[in-house]
Amino acid sequence: MLMTQVLPILDHIVTSLKELAMKPAPSDIPRALLTVEDVSVTYPGGHTALHSTSLRVQPGEFLVLLGASGAGKSTLLRSINGLVSPSTGSLLVQGLSGQTVTRHNLREHRRRCAMVFQQHHLIGRQTVLANVLMGKLGARTAWASLWPWGRADKLEALAVLERVGLIDKALERADTLSGGQQQRVGIARALLQQPRLLLADEPVASLDPATAQSVLTLLHEICKKDQLTALVSLHQVNLARLFADRIVGLRHGRVVFEGGPQDLTPAVEADLYAQPQLQAQPHAQPQAQPQAQPSALADPDSPYLADPAPPSIPSRSPSTTKEFQPC
């Protein structure tokens, strides 16, 4: 009798223990490398370029920010590395002392966070090697920076240049390189920083399509090999589909899409790049015009309101906004 009462209790305890053992411990649950919590940015002058945005970026993720020109991609990236101060919200970074980015640990955060820019930001009259070594500046003390770079630093920079296929250009002036090569130097400089997080702001927007794809292939390969977390803003949908683990779509400073490349349907894409119908309507009656564009003009955050001549700007496809600019 006693056994029949005890056995079910024992059975229940064993089952509970088994369930507990199978449950991941809090330390096993993957923690986001970066958590953006309700970050918004209003520039001096009152334009809100980024409305309250929350985002979690997992370690090793290659996350693409997609959107038309003016969608707020740069503003989001710049607020993540502290080049722009968020008006609201907070940033949490795994491994950063104190976790939340504050002005006290901003320098530490920036050291761990490398940036690749659209226009490369190289010093043209300096050698490729000297430009790459700039990636180590943040780790140097003011005193050490008075001295020339040491042999170990140079060897490290040369090793990174080899990874981006430019070892033979190390001693050439940076401004003698092609646009694609200059962006490879920009990537090498970022890698020399040994970042935990790589931010790339339209890194291939000024390159022709073939070079853009080869530069992004290189960046993606390196990030995956090094398990480096990357946040890359792009306006080319085809490249986002090719390389992204996850895509976050922005429009008018708001996240309007979040998903894998397979979720980016033509309808989502059309919505992401939809332009307010603000073109002049030559056949419309003058009094009918306000009804034709009520939503865009009623929106106080519409970028057209900040534009001196909005109605005459033709609707542009995303691929023509920033592409093919000379480097």
| Interacting positions 203-262 with ligand ADP (CB under 6 A) | none
* Beta carbon of residue 72, minimum distance to ligand ADP (angstroms, whole number): 5
Q: Using the rule CB under 6 A, is 308 a contact of ligand ADP?
A: no
The footprint of ligand ADP on residues 286-305 (CB under 6 A) is 303
Q: Is 45 in the site for ligand ADP (CB under 6 A)?
A: yes
Q: Distance from CA of residue 127 to its chain's centroid?
A: 28
Verify binding: residue 79, ligand ADP, rule CB under 6 A: no
Is 186 a binder of ligand ADP (CB under 6 A)? no
Residues linked to residue 42 through DSSP beta bridges, in sequence order: 48
* Among residues 14, 43, 290, 299, the one that binds ligand ADP under rule CB under 6 A: 43
CA-to-CA distance for 54 and 89, rounded, in angstroms?
9
Taking the C-alpha atoms of residue 141 and residue 135, their distance in angstroms, rounded to an integer, is 14
Q: Which is nearer to ligand ADP, 73 or 184 (CB)?
A: 73
Angle in degrees, CA 192, 194, 199, rounded to 5: 95
Give the bridge partners for 230, in sequence order.
62, 198
C-alpha distances out from residue 254 to 6, 208, 248, Å: 59, 29, 10
User: Residue 85, interface with ligand ADP (CB under 6 A)?
Assistant: no
**Between 40 and 193, whose beta carbon lies closer to ligand ADP?**
40
Spatial CA neighbour of 265 closest among 243, 241, 242: 241
| Contacts of residue 95, Cβ cutoff 8 Å, sequence gap at least 6 | 112, 196
For residue 35, what is the enclosing H or E element?
A: strand 34-42
Helix (H, G, I), strand (E, B) or coil at 122: coil
Q: Which is nearer to ligand ADP, 52 or 281 (CB)?
A: 52
CA dihedral sign, ordered 54, 272, 252, 67: positive
**Residues binding ligand ADP: number (CB under 6 A):** 13
Q: In angstroms, give the least distance from the CB of 12 to ligand ADP.
A: 57
One residue of 47, 56, 163, 173 binding ligand ADP per CB under 6 A = 47
Tokens 């946040």 found at? 231
Q: Which helix (H) or strand (E) holds 197?
A: strand 197-201
Asked if residue 49 binds ligand ADP (CB under 6 A), the reply is: yes
User: Is residue 87 involved in binding ligand ADP (CB under 6 A)?
Assistant: no
Stretch that binds ligand ADP, among 5-13, 69-77, 188-196, 218-226 (CB under 6 A): 69-77
Question: Hey, is 116 helix, strand or coil?
Answer: strand
Asked if residue 70 binds ligand ADP (CB under 6 A), the reply is yes
Output the smallest distance, CB 257 to ligand ADP, in A: 14
- Token pair of 210, please? 């073939």
* Local structure of 251: helix, strand or coil: strand
Q: Binding segment for ligand ADP among 30-38, 43-51, 125-133, 274-282 (CB under 6 A)?
A: 43-51
Q: Is 119 in the site for ligand ADP (CB under 6 A)?
A: no
By C-beta, is 40 or 131 nearer to ligand ADP?
40
Binding site for ligand ADP (CB under 6 A): 43, 45, 47, 49, 67, 69-75, 303
